[in-house]
Amino acid sequence: VAGRVALPTGLEKSLTAQILHTYETRLFPSAESIEVKRAFIEKFATILVTEFPEWEVDIHVFGSSVNGLGTSRSDVDICLTTEHRELEDVFVLNKALRKHQMRTYCIPRARVPIVKIWDPELRIASDINVNNTIALHNTRMLQTFVAIDGRVRPFVMAVKHWTKCREINDAAFGGTLSSYAWVNLAIHFLQTRQPAILPVLHPPAPSLDADECRAAGEVDLSFNDDIAELREFGRANTESLGFLLYAFFRTYSYEFDYRHQVVSLRSGCYLTKAQKGWDSGRPARIFCIEEPFSTWLNLGHSANTVSVEGIRREFQRAFAILREGGSFDQVCEIYQRP
C-alpha cells in the first residue's frame, strides 16, 4: 500500500494492544469524573442565577468534555451566550465567581478573552468565554469525526496523551500547541491515509472569501454532519492503531515540510504557505495548521522557531523508540527538565 512504512514484525500488534490498554485504563474518562463535571456545571449555573438574576444567560459546554476526546483530568470548557454584552468583560464574571470561593485568573487580551477557574471544592478546572460561539461548531465537527470510525477516539487520545506527557501541549504558557491544534493534526493525518480513514466534511470552497469573512466577522459554518451516511467511511483502510501512531510520528519527523506546507483539515490535504499568503511578513508562521472554520487563523501561531524544533525532536524521539521496539509507555515517559 502506498505510503506504508514497515514496522518491525510483531511489534505492530503489540503496540496496538498497548495503546488500547492505556486508552481503556487511563484515558477513557471515569464515571466519577463525569459526575464531577456535571456537578460543577450545575454549581456554576446556580452562581450565574444568583449573581445575575435579571439576565438571560445560556450555558454551552464544548471542547473535550463533549467531543469524545476528554480524559478524567480534562477541564470543562464553557461558552456563555447572552445579549447582555456587559458580561463580555471577563472581570465582571470574575468578580461574581470570587464571591463563591472560586479561584480565578483572567486572560482579557487574548483573541478569545477567558476566565480560568479552579474550583477547590470539586477540584476541577474550567475555562469560560462569553459569546464566542465558533468553538461550539468546531466541537460538533470533532464529534462527527469521532463517530465515523472506531479508531479515531483511541488514536487522537493517544496523541493527546503523548503531547501532555512530553510537555508539548500548552499554547498559552508553554509556547507549544493547544490540544485543539494537536487534534486537528491527528485528524488530518487520518484524512490523508491511503485509503482515507476520515472524509473531508467541508464544502470544496468556502462560500465566503477568508479576508471578507474576517472583516465582516462572518464565517461559513456549514459542514457535512450526517453521521449515518458517513459511518464506516474508512472501512477500506485496515491499518492498526499501532501502525497509525508509528506512521504519524514518522510523518512529522521526516516527511512533513515545515517550511512550505500547511495542515488543512478543511481541505483534507496539505496546502502551501504561498497559496495561503502565509509565506511572508509577520507574524512568522512556522508550524502552520489552518483553523477549519476561521481559515485565516493559524493554530500553530503559539509555537516559535525554537519550540517547533523541540516539537520535531519529540516526534523523532517517539519514532526512534518505536522503530527500535520500545513501548508506548516509553514513548510517553514523563518529560524530565534538563
What is the CA 22 to chain-centroid distance, rounded?
19
CB of 303 to ligand CTP, least distance (A): 12
Of 75 and 314, nearer to ligand CTP (C-beta) is 75
Q: Considering only residues 126, 179, 267, 307, which one is a binding residue for ligand CTP as defined by CB under 6 A?
A: 179
Q: Considering only residues 37, 52, 69, 77, which one is a binding residue for Mg ion as defined by CB under 5 A?
A: 77
CA distance 59 to 41: 9
Dihedral sign for Cα atoms in the order 290, 294, 297, 303? negative
Of 242 and 292, nearer to ligand CTP (C-beta) is 292
User: Taking the chain, what is the end-to-end CA distance rounded to the nearest angstrom?
Assistant: 41
CA distance 39 to 33: 10
Interface size with ligand CTP, residues (CB under 6 A): 17
Q: Considering only residues 22, 48, 63, 78, which one is a binding residue for ligand CTP as defined by CB under 6 A?
A: 63
Of 75 and 239, nearer to ligand CTP (C-beta) is 75
CB of 135 to ligand CTP, least distance (A): 4
Binding mask 284-303 for ligand CTP (x = CB under 6 A): ---------------x----
Q: If binding is defined by CB under 6 A, does position 126 make contact with ligand CTP?
A: no
Q: Considering only residues 11, 12, 19, 75, which one is a binding residue for Mg ion as defined by CB under 5 A?
A: 75
Cβ neighbours, 10 Å, residue 140: 15
In the numeric block, which cell numbers belong to residue 12?
A: 505492530
Q: Which stretch binds ligand CTP (CB under 6 A): 12-20, 96-104, 133-141, 273-281?
A: 133-141
Exposure on the CB side of residue 168, measured as CA atoms within 13 A: 26
- Taking CB within 5 to 8 Å according to partner kind, which of ligand CTP, Mg ion, none is near residue 135? ligand CTP
Q: What is the SS3 assignment for 135?
A: helix
Enter the DSSP assignment of 298: B
